[in-house]
Amino acid sequence: MNYRIIDKDSYYLSGVFRHFSEDCRCSVSMTARIDVTDLSACSARRGRKFYIDFLYILSKVLNSRDDYKMGYLWQTEELICYDRINPTQYVFHEDTETCTPVYSVYTEDYEEFYRNALKDAEEAKKTREYGLDAAGHPNWFDASFIPWLSYDALNIELPDGHLFFAPIVNWGRYREENGRLMMPVSVRLNHAVADGYLVANVFRLLEKEIGEFGREHQ
């Protein structure tokens, strides 16, 4: 885990950071549907799991900009940017109707990421422990699939005074709309390090990377 300290005075969102870390602590979140028709077909054609393919693309998107890799060290009151953030995926156990967090490591090498993320998930199926260790995994972001519903809106609430900067991303079951497969995705970021543009940009980058992924894995 490597990071660099951000000078709050020269930080390009210094005004946003000051206001939403001191005067009005809050988060900003959006839900939108993205077209995953081609990604679903690509995953099926190659015999790969759509879920992990999307997890890879999401991880690549969130690592493409420093804005999505921010952190806050409350002990020293330092604003930081991690070199890399990794996904916390979840395995659902049908027998107990509970989830187990799975800490996977992001690597830009798709084959390596896919192999390791799949192995991580399979290992997690052997336990029923919740096993959340946020303190030991500060540069991990929450990536949670909600396969039971193709929802229209989702809200993740955190205490307003909590300067938690890691992205929280959820996505639901896709459904057919006008011949295309549309999937709901929800993105939550802390307003101190992200405005509406940066949240909306996650969706734009996802659509761009999905297109490039399809071309690279024909």
CATH classification of the domain holding 104 = 3.30.559.10
> How do beta strands 86-93 and 180-190 pair?
unpaired
Please tell me what DSSP assigns to residue 213.
H
pLDDT digits (tens, 9 = 90+) for 1-19: 799 999 999 999 999 999 9
Boundaries of domain holding 194: 3-216
pLDDT digits (tens, 9 = 90+) for 86-127: 999 999 999 999 999 999 999 999 999 999 999 999 999 999
In whole angstroms, give the CA distance from residue 173 to residue 130.
23
In whole angstroms, give the CA distance from residue 84 to residue 81.
9
Tell whether the model's pLDDT for residue 77 goes beyond 70.
yes
Contact yes or no for 15/25 (Cβ under 8 A) = no
Confidence of residue 218 (pLDDT cuts 50, 70, 90): confident
Residue type, 59: S
In whole angstroms, give the CA distance from residue 132 to residue 165.
18
Q: What is the number of domains present in the chain?
A: 1
